Structure 1
Amino acid sequence: MRFLLVVPPLAGHVAPLRGVAAVLSSRGHSVAWCGPEPLLSTLVSGRVFPAGGSAPFSLSLRPPGLRGFAALKFLWESYLVPLADAMVPGVSSAVAAFEPDVVVVDQQAMAGALVAARCGRPWATSASTSTELADPLGTLPKIASWVSDLQAGLRARHGVLLGDLRFSPHLVLAFTTRALAGECRLAVPVSYVGPALPAASGEWSLVDDRPLVVVTLGTSNDSAGSRFLAESVDALAGMPGVQGLVVDPTGSLVSESVLLARRIPQVAVFSRASVVVCHGGHNTVCEALSAGVPLVVAPIRDDQSMLAQQVVAASAGVRLRFDRAKAADIRKAIEAAPGYAPGAEKIRKSFAAAGGAQEAADHLEALG
């Protein structure tokens, strides 16, 4: 069988499908990727079909101070919709050249849904984050209607009669579990396959045997992120009973008592951590909970607030205000987090039982 994976050039959205692609390839299937170049080739290996032209589609162009509806408005009007329009010709060419049996479409690469529907190809949604499944705009009818109108414009421009482009009527692969995300109330076939995480790689030497507390905001390195990391360093410096590790991508922080690193082998380090403080990125949350590590979540924007809510609802961690948290607030949250270890362990068990990349591959094979 032949599988075409249509994705945006975003590491967090590509990451779960890399594991699925590896499983499909190991089973003898042909797998190819489709998305904006040259960015996509820095994130994946194997055959890549370009789609999106030369436009610099990157969320890094978003003004860093945007929050709430302003951030959502930018995401849809300045990224998702233009990306979909730009990718359609390339995806169409890829489908014609590769002739896939199944098209796998990330939720933020709606061109894949448009082309698959137009060509009558079976297609599956890759839900790299669970927040859309929770219908976050369900209580915000005006915003939901605005998003619906944007999608209607996309469908009209590309001659497609289809429902919500974010949800395949054939199969939605949710890289989470019900234990964390809760039940999906949408009228689509959802398979909860759990996170498809990379194998632990890389080494990290701990200085001593104290409990390890890791602070990371992923790739967020604007002024607000720098402020939060600096406050975290101050918080950990006042906690001699733990070994603090702060991931500082800029290398601008200085501390005599807290470990600092520009990057870490996250899966390997989290397996040795007692608490993880993060921004609520889906991959980071899942990597921590896959190790049964309780979380302190300080969401910044987009789906992170919903993920923080899911973590709290699952009793797997605590939540902080990213813009307002001071060292004392962060220290208090870190001290409270170990009490949520039972909830984190429950999520870990649900992830282990879900099947991950192997289970996702099984569903895709059945779809073809």
Structure 2
Amino acid sequence: MEIGLSMFGDLAYHQESNTFQPAQERIQQLLEEIKLADEVGLDVFGIGEHHRPDFAVSSPEIILAAAASITKRIKLTSSVTVLSSTDPVRTYQNFATADLISNGRTEITVGRGSFTESFPLFGYNLNDYNGLFAEKLDLLLAINKEQVIDWKGRFRAPLVHQEVLPRAMNNHLDIWVAVGGTPQSVIRAARLGLPLIIAIIGGMPAQFRPFFELYKQEYKNAGHDLANMQLATHSHGLIGENGQALANRYFPLYAQQMDRIGKDRGWAPYTKEQFGGGRSREGALFIGDPNQIVDKILYHQEMFGLTRFLLHADVGAPPHADLMKSIELLGTKVAPAVKKALANT
């Protein structure tokens, strides 16, 4: 089982001045965090794409290319690339370039996008939300398979015997599909034989079990080799030596970010009761000490059959020192304990 972390580059909010942390400062911190993740032996790092004032990263592949030059072993992936509002040709070229810099450690994780700011920004119609993703995924997979492309769709100009360069290491990029729990998205990923990652960031994780079972059945029905099946989850979390003390100081930052997002989506204000429920064994938050996190990862692995787990660690922009400590503990205590337990089962 692979264990890693993901981030969005959340920017700290300064209430006194009503301003966010400078993006330059946060990006420099991000690179330090990725370097540490590599040094402590984590398997994967993912960075997401947003186009809002509270996030620092709009182009995951640029961050990954920078990270590739200062890391040696860790896999680097987007988390996610909003494929619907970008061009698959350019996306492949950018990630293939990062892959060459990393000597074959770069992946792509694509999704339809739970944040939709990129659609008007790049001139796409939200009414085409589903069609854009399906078509662009088809093109991206075709490019990943063949260097010379003949392709025609509805939303972009056709490609007539076009060569897409440069090529990734070994002429292949691993492409994951990220979903929030839509059955149609799960079925599409399974039938295509693509690795699946489900974002479980609220509610009761056990409610997602049917989606994993659906994926497994559709994957098998499509004739794919079950030995190649890869399943992952991405959940919010932070780790400290003292789990309760960490939770106490993290709650205000976490709640503020959830309320900023919730204001746009009509959510009720985030409460301590929600936070506490999320931290329970049956909840979706991985916030606590190393032993608590180990137990919860093992619980989810058994429930879903996971081959990868990503701790999404910077929601609400916890202090850089807390993120560095969380990465250290995830790599030196949590991951070894999880892998030892799984090796003994």
TM-score (norm 1): 0.32
The structure having more radius of gyration, on CA atoms, is 1
TM-score (norm 2): 0.33
